[in-house]
């Protein structure tokens, strides 16, 4: 069974699709595409069905040479059961996810994305939606750092047994 990661932001058009596609890029480079699967979702439903925001797409292409694929969907309760680890971009996303699980059954699956940063010290991935190009650049840089740390974490903590 592959290990399943879900990236969650508010609209699922800026931060979480960027995280999903950056992570897939790193997973592919590490030859782990069969072992680790990624998806993304938004806590809000404003942009359901839309592709990633063009500003994020252009920035990811310019900075990393990757294409952002996907269609926005809304986070749903069954995601808590179906994914192994759920990465919230900011504290509001984190709280909105936990609010769907009042019993706390899945709380240990939900983490802040920035917990996995290797070199940045920010605690949240800032929402770039109302920002300018520098905000989108910053998101990509931060997500690349967090995705590198996350990949190390998944390999070290969760996949070791399956590789042995
Ligand atoms: P995201 O960015 O949560 O990173 O996808 C946003 C996208 C849309 C909105 C806010 C943030 N919005 O208010 O429509």
d(CA 119, CA 55): 25
- pLDDT per residue rounded down to tens, the chain (164 residues): 899 999 999 999 999 999 999 999 999 999 999 999 999 999 999 999 999 999 999 999 999 999 999 999 999 999 999 999 999 999 999 999 999 999 999 999 999 999 999 999 999 999 999 999 999 999 999 999 999 999 999 999 875 555 54
- Tell me 149's DSSP state: H
pLDDT recorded at residue 159: 57
Would residue 127 show up in a list of annotated catalytic residues for this protein?
Answer: yes
Q: Is the CB of 13 under 6 A from ligand 1?
A: yes
- With the most atoms of ligand 1 within 8 angstroms of its CB, the residue from 7, 8, 9, 11 to mutate is 11
Q: At which residue do the structure tokens 């390999």 appear?
A: 155
Which of 79, 127, 145, 147 is an active site residue?
127
Residue 60 contacts residue 139 (beta carbons within 8 Å): no
Beta-carbon contacts of residue 129 (< 8 Å; ≥ 6 apart): 10, 11, 14, 53
Would residue 15 show up in a list of annotated catalytic residues for this protein?
Answer: yes
How remote is the CA of residue 38 from the centroid of ligand 1, in Å? 20
pTM (two decimals): 0.96
- With the most atoms of ligand 1 within 8 angstroms of its CB, the residue from 8, 13, 46 to mutate is 13
pLDDT recorded at residue 158: 73
pLDDT recorded at residue 101: 97
């Amino acid at each position: 069974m592959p290990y399943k990661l879900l990236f969650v932001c508010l609209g699922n058009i800026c931060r979480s699709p960027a995280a999903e596609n950056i992570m897939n890029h790193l997973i592919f480079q590490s030859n782990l595409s069969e072992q680790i699967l990624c998806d993304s979702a938004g806590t809000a439903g404003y942009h359901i069905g839309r592709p990633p925001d063009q500003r994020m797409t252009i920035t990811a292409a310019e900075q990393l040479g990757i294409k952002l694929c996907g269609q926005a969907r809304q986070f749903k309760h069954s995601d808590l059961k179906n994914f192994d680890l759920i990465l919230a971009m900011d504290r509001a996303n984190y709280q909105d996810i936990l609010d769907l699980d009042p019993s706390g059954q899945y709380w240990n699956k939900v983490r802040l994305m920035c917990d996995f940063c290797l070199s940045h010290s920010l605690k949240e991935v800032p929402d770039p939606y109302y920002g300018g190009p520098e905000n989108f650049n910053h998101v990509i840089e931060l997500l690349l750092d967090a995705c590198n740390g996350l990949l190390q974490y998944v390999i070290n903590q969760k996949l070791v047994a399956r590789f042995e």
